[in-house]
Amino acid sequence: MLLDRDGTLVEDVPYNGDPEKVRPVPGAREALDRLRAAGLRLAVVTNQSGLARGCFTAHDLRRVNARVEELLGPFDNWQICPHAEPDRCACRKPAPGMVHAAARALGTTASRCVLVGDIGADMAAAAAAGAAAVMVPTPATRDAEVAAAPTVAADLPDAVDTILARMRLVEGPRTARRPGRGTVLVVRSDAAGDVLVTGPGIRAVAAGADRVVLLCGPRGRAAADLLPGVDEIIECPLPWIDAPAPPVDPHDMRALTERLAAVRADEAVVFTSFHQSPLPLALLLRLAGVPRISAISDDYPGALLDTRHRVPVGVPEPERALSLAAAAGYPLPPDDEPGLRLRTDRLPPVPAAAGPPGYVVLHPGSSVETRACPVELATRVVRVLSAAGHRVVVTGGPDERELTARVAAAGGTDLGGRTGLDELAAVIARAGALVVGNTGPAHLAAALGVPVVSLFAPTVPFGQWGPYRVPTVRLGDAAAPCRDTRATTCPVPGHPCLSAVEPGRVLEALRLLGVAA
């Protein structure tokens, strides 16, 4: 657990070198003691440019920090950046250096940490390190910073409530089931990215089951083939999930019910997105004779569900899946990192045209128009990155050849239409970073540990759908008029949430992520 100091733990007194001016924010001591009682180790990560500016001495800083501990209790580690912004050091937030250093000092990794802070630099430092983050705004916090934060709390006690609640969600009930629970049918019928973010939940089920059968749709099949823990795949579209929705064919539904019955599943865990209902499929599973069914449902399920789970709005999709698995009795084992993961042994060779590892992949397209990178911006990004010495590989699906050819003409290598999902994963695995919108390849990169420059349109919440537990820099206008509309066609002419991004910011994002040309 990482915490900013000024404005988060104590009132922000600019360049404070006087211990007598230390004032904890309301409820800080009680909130921190709750974290300690939960077994969390605490570290402070704080920019203190007053040292470089000569506003106070190192001795003054030690006295101030000692007063903070006197009032708030001990911290397990302190990370302090003494530099000013012009120094361009690796530790000053928004750089991720202090986050990584604090994680090492606490005996963990950044991807297992949460940083609580009050400004955008705190959120950016956490994201660039692959850590989670919660913003506690103050009157000095800019509206744009609040809009871009992955999670926002009213104050420090509220942030602690949020963090502890999310911990309890993925831990599940104390009486988890023993391994060897027979055959479990898991379901995620949606696009490739949706299947990928469900991976941690499926791994949790696999750790406690003898056999796992995954029901997915055609759009998610390629991703399903790469998931660890899956023994068998059933591919079938579900008309109440797919968009545009096809007609419901009674013959197809009877055939699906018979196929599900043939699995002879001991139970089923139905994973869905926050806007989807598991109940139509739960009815078919009952007709197929599945004796136990678990799912997240806000609607009254009647006799369709044995475990009716509920999740607060805004929880990241991988944690949403993990929480359902835990509620069904399948918590993720302690030795399994909760991030996304792929079967890398199933990845094919990389096309020779990509060249040696270390390139930057730019994936400009998306199956959803609002989540794609505008072609003009993508073209300018390729030109700027190439001029700075980066090798850029442009990727896209078979129907995006014209798009990728146009973008790559600015100085990149065009692989458009030459990679299926598994080949694309292989290309991304050898990349220094991926530049992409809110689409499936972002989750591939997260599963492979490849840093992401996320050109994220705010039509859906970033905290819920952004790249999970991987170093990330988010670009774009998080407060654009399309925010939270879930629009699939851009409601504002010109795609302003992304088109206003300057290509130089992508270059700066790569520097922040430590990706050298």
Give the single-character DSSP code of 152: B
Contacts of 30 (CB under 8 A, 6+ apart): 157
Q: Are 379 and 414 in contact (CB under 8 A)?
A: no
Q: Are 393 and 418 in contact (CB under 8 A)?
A: no
Neighbours of 110 (CB within 10 A): 23
User: CA-CA distances (angstroms) from residue 5 to 64, 77, 81, 150, 164?
Assistant: 11, 12, 12, 20, 20
Tally: H helices and E strands in the chain: 20, 17
Q: Are 124 and 464 in contact (CB under 8 A)?
A: no
Q: Are 208 and 330 in contact (CB under 8 A)?
A: yes
Give the single-character DSSP code of 361: E
* R_g of the chain, CA atoms, integer Å: 24
Of the residues 6, 122, 190, 194, only one is catalytic, namely 6
Neighbours of 455 (CB within 10 A): 31
Q: What is the spatial distance between Cα 35 and Cα 27, in angstroms, rounded to a whole number?
A: 13
Q: What is the spatial distance between Cα 24 and Cα 11, in angstroms, rounded to a whole number?
A: 6
3-state SS, residue 83: coil
Q: What is the spatial distance between Cα 2 and Cα 400, in angstroms, rounded to a whole number?
A: 42
Place of tokens 């919440």: 461
76 is a catalytic site residue: no
Q: Are 377 and 407 in contact (CB under 8 A)?
A: no
Q: What is the spatial distance between Cα 12 and Cα 24, in angstroms, rounded to a whole number?
A: 10
Neighbours of 254 (CB within 10 A): 12
Give the single-character DSSP code of 6: B
Q: Please provide the DSSP assignment of 395-443 as one string.
A: ---GGGHHHHHHHHTTT-EE-TTS--HHHHHHHHHT-SEEEE-SSHHHH
6 is a catalytic site residue: yes
Sheet containing 183-187: give its strands across.
232-235, 211-216, 183-187, 267-270, 293-296, 307-309
Instruction: Quote the tokens at residue 214.
Output: 């995954």
Alpha helix segments (H runs only) across 211-303? 221-224, 250-263, 279-287
Nearest to 485 by CA among 370, 375, 374, 366: 370
Say which amino acid occupies 339: G
Residues marked as catalytic: 4, 6
